[in-house]
Structures are given as C-alpha cells and as structure tokens.
Chain A
C-alpha cells in the first residue's frame, strides 16, 4: 500500500470534519522520534512501539482534542507523567467553530461571508421566510426559518461559538439574547443604534438579566472603526470577535509597542 492507513484516516477525518488528533514524537531517544499515532474519540491508529507510552499519549490526545487544543506534552519512556524524556507534539483538528447570525438582513449577508472567511460554520436564522432564503445567503452553511430563541435552544453552542444578533427589533432580540446568555458562547453581539441599545438593555434588565450577564453582550456590536456599509460593519464585527477571543484591545498596532503576536499561541484550530 502506497498511502499508509494513518494518512488515509487523517485525510478522511478532515474531509468529514470529524474530530481527530495527531500525536508525533518530536524529541526523545533514537528510534522513538518520528513515531506517530492518530487519535479519535473512539479509537487510534499507529503505535509508538511501547504499550504504556501509547496509552498515555492516546489519553492525553483525547483530552486535548476535546478542547480543540494543540500542545507539546512530555512523558517518560513508558508514558510516565512529570518526566521529560519524550516530547510529543499533539495537534488537534476540531470541527470548525460555529457562528449563528440572527436577522436575515443585508448586514447578515456580509457577516455570514466574513464568518466563512474566518473559518466558521455559519448558520443564518430568521423567523421570516421571505428573508431567510438560500439565494440571499449563498455562502452560509445553513439558512433556517425559525424563531431565533426557539432555534438557539436546540443549536450546538460551545465556548468557541459566535452569536450575532442583528435583528435590532426587541421582539426578536430580547428572547434570543436571553437564550444566548444561557450558553457558554465565546462571543455574543447585538446590533443597534445607541437608542436601540438603551431600550434593549432596559428590557433585558426588566426580564431579570443581571449586570454581569449584560456585560457579556457586545452591544452596540463591533469595533469603533467608523464602519458604514454592511461589508465594513461585518469587518468591525469580525475584528471584535477576534479581539475578544484573544483578549486584545483592538487599537492600532502603530500606537503601541511590544510584541504583535501573543507569546506561544497554543491553539490553532485546523481542519
């Protein structure tokens, strides 16, 4: 066989967007370096020629895969923790993070496009069938006609998820934001003028949303770059999504000193 089983399985998992981690020994005794194991939540392919080391690496890889993390982990020759003999680079390929866009307006189309551009799996949802159509959102992975809050209750949301509420109509905004705050979404943003924002905030408070919860909502949505068009606004939103994830302020690099990239960016989400 020309292509090994490990490579075939790796390609298949990436194509199906199913979670997979690949562990490679990058430092250690001769003969061990270059050893490779592919790990999925259910099984593994390959061996490092030591049963105990295999077991430790597979377990560790599954843990990292769960969080979509990529790291170098050290083990003893037989998989012992707290030893440094063998360095194993474990790369997680998690399925793409999700972006949910509520409100099928022109801004949503631009936001969906930037979401795809950044590698998100994008869902656009609106209760109005006239607006939530495939034709209007050709780049979205999914276009759903449903009440946003009802839909969000059943949607898959994790810490990497982005929720953009663009309806700027309290009738839709308030229930979907309340639902969004029950999730662990990494980003929740809501569009609207200052006035819409004040009105919406007041309504959310009336509904029992706490100040701490309110502070999770990026509202008005986006970085202050003077965006006007749907496309520019989508960039302002995309930039805020990135800045909040990385913990950066979003100002100009020219205006500050220090390194541009955070040291040891440990996570890279592949696939």
Chain B
C-alpha cells in the first residue's frame, strides 16, 4: 500500500482530476529522497509531501495549474535566501520535482 497512489486511484475512480508531484533529484542536503511524492485533486485535496513543508504550498499551486493545462513541469527549489527562488528550502539543499497530470 502506498497512500499517495491509493488516494490518486480513488480520486480517479470518482472521476476527479489529479496531479502527481514526485521528487526526482536531491542535491546536497535534502529532507526526503527521490521518489517521495505528493498528489493534489482538482478540488484542492492534498496527500503526501515532497519536503519538510517548505515547498508544498508552491508545489500545490503548480499542481493545480497542471491539472488545468495538462502540461507536465520539472520544478527546482533551492536555498530560501536566494532571491532567484520565490520559495525554498531552509536546509540548503536543492530539490527537483516533476509535476504531471494523472491521465494514465
């Protein structure tokens, strides 16, 4: 059993759209390893996480966008004091997260 896959399958059975966000790469220090995932339903429900809570709000917004457009995205989040990133990780790591609409 995997709570994220279970929940996504349940949403799809109820004909609700969903997006899946998966950590695909972690550089330097990161809280959760590759494969950690979070999913979002079209009505704004969330299951799972992709960091220690630092980037989830941003990933949520991206996931909602992907549900609408269907366009997958590879996101990168880094150190939070770097102005180049709107949100980031306080731990000093960089994580790469792939966001995709569940159409498979």
> Is chain B found bound to chain A in the same assembly?
yes
Q: Closest approach, in angstroms, between the C-beta of B18 and any C-beta of chain A? A: 10
A18-41 contact mask (Cβ, 8 Å, vs B): 1 or 0: 000000101100000110100000
Residues in B whose Cβ lies below 8 Å from that of A24: 22, 98, 100
Q: Smallest CB-CB separation from A71: which chain B residue?
A: B34
Contact of A70 among B34, B98, B103 (CB under 8 A): B34
Assess the B34–A263 pair: CB atoms within 8 A. no
A residues 63-93 with Cβ under 8 Å of B?
Answer: 70-72, 89, 91, 93
Smallest CB gap from A259: residue in B: B29
A43 at the interface (CB under 8 A from B): no
Query: With A2-B12, A27-B74, A268-B36 in contact, do A89 and B22 touch (Cβ < 8 Å)?
Result: yes
Given A11-B5, A93-B2, A263-B27, is A3 in contact with B12 using a C-beta cutoff of 8 Å?
Answer: yes
Determine whether the beta carbon of A36 is less than 8 Å from that of B104.
Answer: yes
Q: Is the CB of A2 within 8 A of B15?
A: yes
Report if A6 contacts B (CB, 8 A).
yes
The answer for the CA separation of A265 and B6 in the assembled complex, in Å, is 25
- The answer for the CA separation of A10 and B6 in the assembled complex, in Å, is 9
Q: A11-B5, A24-B98 are in contact. Are A4 and B103 (CB under 8 A)?
A: yes
| Per-residue interface assignment for chain B, residues 76 to 104, with 1 indicating a CB less than 8 Å from any chain A CB and 0 otherwise | 00000000000000011100001011111
When distances are taken between beta carbons in the complex, the residues of chain B under 8 Å from A138 are: none
B98 touches A7 (CB 8 A): no
Whether A3 lies near B13 (C-beta < 8 A) is yes
- Of the listed residues B13, B29, B35, B102, the one surrounded by the most CB atoms of chain A closer than 10 A to its CB is B35
Is the CB–CB distance between A7 and B35 below 8 Å?
A: no
Interface size grouping (class) on chain B: 20 to 34
Contact A264 B13 (CB under 8 A): no
Most buried by A among B9, B12, B104: B104
**CA A27 to CA B100, docked complex, whole Å:** 12
Q: Is the CB of B34 within 8 A of A11?
A: no
Give the A interface residue count (CB, 8 A): 34
Contact among B13, B24, B33 with A2 in the assembled complex (CB-CB below 8 Å): B13
Shortest distance from the beta carbon of A14 to any chain B beta carbon, whole Å: 5
Q: State A146–B104 Cα separation when bound (angstroms).
A: 47
* Residue A261 lies at the interface, judged by CB distance under 8 Å to chain B: yes
- When distances are taken between beta carbons in the complex, the residues of chain B under 8 Å from A46 are 104
The answer to whether B29 touches A6, judged by C-beta atoms less than 8 angstroms apart, is no
| Contact residues in A for B102 (Cβ distance below 8 Å) | 4, 7
Most chain A beta carbons < 10 A, residue from B2, B6, B13: B2
Q: Mark B3-46, 1 if CB is under 8 A from A, else 0.
A: 00110110011110000001011111111011110000000000
With A33-B72, A91-B22: A259-B13 Cβ-Cβ less than 8 Å: no
Contact residues, B26-73 vs A (CB, 8 A):
26-31, 33-36, 72
CA distance A26 to B100 in the complex (A): 9
When distances are taken between beta carbons in the complex, the residues of chain B under 8 Å from A2 are: 12-15
Residue interface mask A234-271, B partner, CB < 8 A = 1? 00000000000000000000000001110111111011
User: B31 to chain A: which residues have CB within 8 Å?
Assistant: 261
Bitwise interface map of A from 198 to 215 toward B, beta carbon under 8 Å scored 1, else 0: 000000000000000000
Give B contacts to A, CB under 8 Å: 1-2, 5-6, 8-9, 12-15, 22, 24-31, 33-36, 72, 74, 91-93, 98, 100-104
**What are 12 of the A-B contact pairs (CB < 8 Å)?**
A2-B15, A4-B103, A4-B104, A26-B72, A89-B24, A91-B22, A259-B92, A261-B26, A261-B30, A263-B27, A266-B34, A268-B34
